[in-house]
Amino acid sequence: MIEIIKQNLKISDLKNKVEVLEILESDDAKYDIKNNSVSREILLEIYEFRSEHLSGKNSEHAAQLRDSVNELCDNLRRADAENLFFTSVKQGEVNYTLFTDKETGCVLGCLKTVSQLKVSPEKWNEIWKETW
C-alpha cells in the first residue's frame, strides 16, 4: 500500500508532498498505516472546524498548517471518496498525516504537525509564539 501512496503523492499537487516523499524514499522511513475507515463527511466537519480555529493564528507553523488543512477540506469537498484512512509518516519531532481514499489510494491531504509531547516547552512556545 505504501507504494501506491507514494505513486499518488508524486502526481498530486499537495503542499507537503516533496518533504513526505523524501522521508518515504529514505532508508530509515518510519510510517504507520491506519486501515480504519473514517467517513469523508466526518473528516470534513472536523477539519473545517480546525481551519476556523487556525484562522486566528499567525505563526509560520500555524500558517502552513492552516494552508494544508484548507487544502484537505477543498479536496474532501470535491472527492467521490466515502471512506478514508490515515498514514502517519514520522521524522524526528515532525509528523505528517496523509489522508487517503480507501478505494483508489488517492492522497487527499497531508498535514505537517508537531506534537507538544515530543518537544520541549521552549520549542513549543517558539512554534506557536506569534499566536499567544
pLDDT digits (tens, 9 = 90+) for 63-107: 999 999 999 999 999 998 899 999 999 988 899 999 999 988 999
Average pLDDT value for the chain: 91
Question: At residue 131, does pLDDT exceed 60?
Answer: no
Question: At residue 108, does pLDDT exceed 90?
Answer: yes
CA distance 83 to 55: 27
Domain count, the chain: 1
Question: At residue 109, does pLDDT exceed 60?
Answer: yes
Residue 47, domain extent? 2-131
Which whole number is the average pLDDT over 7-33?
A: 93
Where b means 16+ CB within 10 Å and e means fewer, 51-82 reads beebeeeeeebbebbbebbbbbbebbeebebe
Residue whose entry in the numeric block shows the C-alpha cell 514520522 = 90
